[in-house]
Structure 1
Amino acid sequence: MSKENTLKLLLIGSGKVGKSTILLRYCKGKFFETIGATVGVDFRFSNIKVNNENVKLQIWDTAGQERFRTITGSYYRNAHGILVVYDVTDEETFDQVEDWVKEIYQNAPEDCVILLFGNKTDLVDLREVSKEAGTNLAERMNITYLEGSAKSGENISNAFQILAERSFKKIKKKPKPTKETKKKTLKNITFEEEKKQKKCC
């Protein structure tokens, strides 16, 4: 599979919102009740079809704790799509969504696809954040919104499929560098280096 057909996707959000269980549900098709907190980052691979093409997903699960922010910040680099997760039973994690999205805009590539995901909809009686609130926030930030559950599997595959399709579409639209543009870039680099050397002398 070519490098062009490999997408780097990230799971971002506060601690205990269920990022790891979402990843495992998607990659293994199972729900794991007890999982330790992610330390730093973890990643897994998954293969899917996008527009009849084989695409490899490299999915990074990042720690939500504040002490890991400096570590996870570097993983935004070269990301094609990001799933921002909050817990619908914990309003505080919803309130932190805008901070996470700001961090994405500061660190991730400009054309990175963002999808907001409200997790744990299976816990109906414990819900603190309405679907309407999630929809309104996503509309205000101009990003896609879905909610579902790692436990029931609702919308998990759908979320990754949407991220993959939109990210892949953007990659395909990017013009491929020709031999001529590579030569020009090389010439510019050499010219800049020569200028620096002359200034030093």
Structure 2
Amino acid sequence: MASSGGYGDANQRIDYVFKVVLIGDSAVGKSQILARFSRNEFSLDSKSTIGVEFQTRTLVIDHKTVKAQIWDTAGQERYRAVTSAYYRGAVGAMLVYDITKRQTFDHIPRWLEELRNHADKNIVIILVGNKSDLENQRDVPTEDAKEFAEKEGLFFLETSALQATNVESSFMTVLTEIYNIVNKKNLAADESQGNGNSASLLGQKIVIPGPGQEVPAKSSMCCQS
């Protein structure tokens, strides 16, 4: 298993930095998901995000230190001019909708198209149905989302930032997948060069295979800390 590490960044050597972007309509809970993952916090009176902000959290995956840099943007139309800079260098994306508002799910194909137009085509994407604690107000059947995710080659999870359900899992799914792909590329590069020094990916563009290509189902993860 991957160890989730602490919420603060210690002064340790960082092996990888992975940029992950959060996208989706306004008020689906993107900022709450980010606050839960980066600081283990939840605020009932969260304000709308203005422009762009990001948080970091350092984790350990397979004995390597990974710094997750999670970017959050306003879902309102008027802030969508940030696109190219926002997506640049992102190796993971979370496509978030609210399970109680059908419209936010119906907009997902448009967000996915924007993502694919602006981000690296091989980005790792997870579809996230947030607010699973409001089951009695559900407006998007789990099956609908699952079907869409399968068709588009996305990971899928339902989360509750309020109850902290699956928030950690959704980020770890994306980060572990990116790590496995990058690690596999390093091993291939080492074999072709005939040496054991894997290139550091810090500050470099990371190219990762698309959903159709084979990725290791699981790798040996270090024990839970």
If the TM-score is normalised by the length of the shorter chain, which range does it land in? 0.7 to 0.9
**Runs of 4+ residues over 3 Å off in structure 1:** 173-178
What residue number does 2:170 align with? 159
Give the TM-score normalised by structure 1: 0.84
TM-aligned CA deviation for residue 104 of structure 1: 1.0
TM-aligned CA deviation for residue 27 of structure 1: 1.2
Taking the aligned partners of 2:49 and 2:105, their CA distance within structure 1 comes to: 20
What residue number does 1:144 align with? 155
**Number of residue equivalences:** 177
RMSD: 1.6
- Name the structure, 1 or 2, with higher relative contact order (CA <8 Å, separation 6+): 2
Task: Report the AA paired with residue 66 of structure 1.
Answer: E
What residue number does 1:199 align with? none
What residue number does 1:17 align with? 28
Gaps of 5+ in 2: 1-12, 194-225
Say whether residues 1:131 and 2:142 are aligned partners: yes
Taking the aligned partners of 1:86 and 1:56, their CA distance within structure 2 comes to: 25
Larger Rg: 1
What residue number does 2:110 align with? 99
Task: Report the AA paired with residue 44 of structure 2.
Answer: E
Taking the aligned partners of 2:76 and 2:61, their CA distance within structure 1 comes to: 33
Give the TM-score normalised by structure 2: 0.75
Aligned counterparts, 1:45-56, within 5 A: 45-56=56-67
Gaps of 5+ in 1: 179-201
Percent identity between the aligned chains? 37
What residue number does 1:40 align with? 51
TM-aligned CA deviation for residue 52 of structure 1: 1.7
TM-aligned CA deviation for residue 30 of structure 1: 2.1
Matched residue of 2:165: which SS? coil
Taking the aligned partners of 1:98 and 1:108, their CA distance within structure 2 comes to: 15
